[in-house]
Every structure is written in C-alpha cells, then in structure tokens.
C-alpha cells in the first residue's frame, strides 16, 4: 500500500476520523437530527490529537526524508478538513443556511487552506536550513479553532437562537482573517500546551453542562 502507517501518523489519522464523525453529527447523519454540540466535541478531539502529533512524530529519530515530507503534507491536509471544513459545516448546522451566509462559510475554509499551504512552503524551506524546532508561527494557527469555537458555542443558549448564527458567523469571519494576517505568534511550550488541555477540559465540561440544561 502507498503511504505510511507507523505510529508517527496515527494521531493525525485519528484527528481526521474525529472531524468526519463531527460532520456526520452536524449534518444529522447520526441520530436523525443535527447535533452541533457533538460536532464541537469532535472538533476538540481533533485539536487534542493535532496538539501532540508532531511531538510523537519527532520521537522517531530514524525518519526518512520521505516520511518527514509525508508528515508535513498529511498533517496539513487533515488540518484543512478538521479545522477548515468542519467549522463551516457546524456553522450551517447552527443556522447559517441562507444565501447571504455562504460567503463566510466559503471564506473560512479558503483562508485555512491558504494558511496551511503557506505553512508547508515556509516549513519546507526552514527545514532545509535548520533542524531546530519551529519557535514562532505566522498568522493564527488553524488548530486554535478547537478552543475558540467550542467556547463560542457554549453560550449559544444564552445568546439565543435568533442571534447566535450571526455571532458564530462573525467569529468565523474574524478567525479567517486572522489565519492569513501576517503577525508572529510564539509557539507554545509543553507547559502552555498542558494549560490549553486544562482549558479544553473546562470548556468540555461547560459545553456538556450547557447542552444538558438545554
């Protein structure tokens, strides 16, 4: 079979599986009706997998150049689906379903793909010059939506069904622009990453609580 199937890419594949499952929930293909809350949880799971896939891959010291390049490509391709397409499908699920909502639902994955493609080019050039781990990002990382959007969604009941689609759409637009805006962001260290996990756990508990009290 073509491709690579060792442990260095397992988390990346799991991230994609989670996001596709999230699309099924958002479209109502699991249970007969849309469940955006479950789709958000799948988004968070994808974010958790993505947070550690690079670190896991780097534990294999004898990776070939083909394996390294494959890892970069497969990571970005999966990220495009997980953090570009899934949030837009969730947007449709929560009420962004009119013709005037389509531009932002299209803009979001487009900006995500542009950012990821730019990252691939920049990362390949960087790795040709140094073997050091990347220390800064340019633009907002697409994986940030795994924390931002579930937090936004957790307040959907408080905001109300009438206004929440506009709030979610605005969040998508702002995040999309941040994807392709040129600014430097320090790459989080291991302590910060565990802090993000803690925030994610709190968000998950809050999201489940708000869903249960719907």
User: CATH number for the domain including 207?
Assistant: 1.20.120
117-92-168 Cα angle (round to 5): 80
Residue 1 lies in a domain: no
Residue 172 lies in a domain: yes
Residue 87 lies in a domain: yes
For residue 111, give its domain range: 7-212
Residue 177 confidence (pLDDT) above 60 = yes
Return the pLDDT at 180: 94
Lowest mean pLDDT among 50-54, 64-68, 126-130, 199-203: 126-130
* Per-residue confidence band for 8, with pLDDT thresholds at 50, 70 and 90: confident
Residue 123 lies in a domain: yes
Residue 162 lies in a domain: yes
Domain count, the chain: 1
- pLDDT tens-place string over residues 132-173: 666 778 889 999 999 999 999 988 888 988 999 999 999 999
Whether 150 and 207 have beta carbons less than 8 Å apart is answered as yes
Residue 13 lies in a domain: yes
pTM over 0.85: yes
Residue 2 lies in a domain: no
Q: What's the rounded Cα separation, in Å, for the pair 193 and 143?
A: 12
- CA distance readout (Å), 166 to 48, 171, 179, 205: 27, 9, 20, 25
Residue 150 lies in a domain: yes
């Amino acid at each position: 079979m073509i491709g690579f199937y060792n442990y260095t890419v397992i988390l990346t594949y799991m991230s994609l599986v989670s996001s596709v499952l999230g699309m099924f929930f958002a479209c109502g293909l699991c249970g007969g009706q849309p469940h955006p809350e479950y789709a958000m949880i799948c988004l968070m799971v994808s974010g958790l997998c993505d947070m550690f896939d690079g670190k896991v891959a780097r534990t294999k010291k004898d990776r070939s150049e083909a394996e390294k390049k494959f890892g970069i490509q497969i990571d970005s391709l999966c990220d495009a689906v997980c953090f570009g397409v899934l949030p837009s499908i969730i947007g449709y699920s929560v009420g962004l379903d009119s013709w005037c909502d389509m531009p932002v639902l299209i803009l979001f994955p487009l900006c995500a793909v542009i950012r990821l493609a730019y990252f691939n080019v920049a990362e390949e050039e960087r790795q040709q010059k140094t073997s050091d781990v990347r220390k800064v990002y340019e633009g907002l990382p697409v994986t940030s939506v795994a924390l931002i959007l579930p937090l936004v969604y957790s307040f959907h009941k408080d905001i109300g069904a009438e206004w929440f689609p506009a709030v979610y759409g605005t969040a998508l637009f702002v995040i999309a622009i941040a994807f392709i805006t040129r600014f430097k962001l320090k790459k989080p260290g291991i302590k910060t990453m565990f802090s993000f996990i803690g925030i994610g756990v709190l968000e998950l508990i809050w999201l489940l609580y708000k869903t249960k009290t719907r």
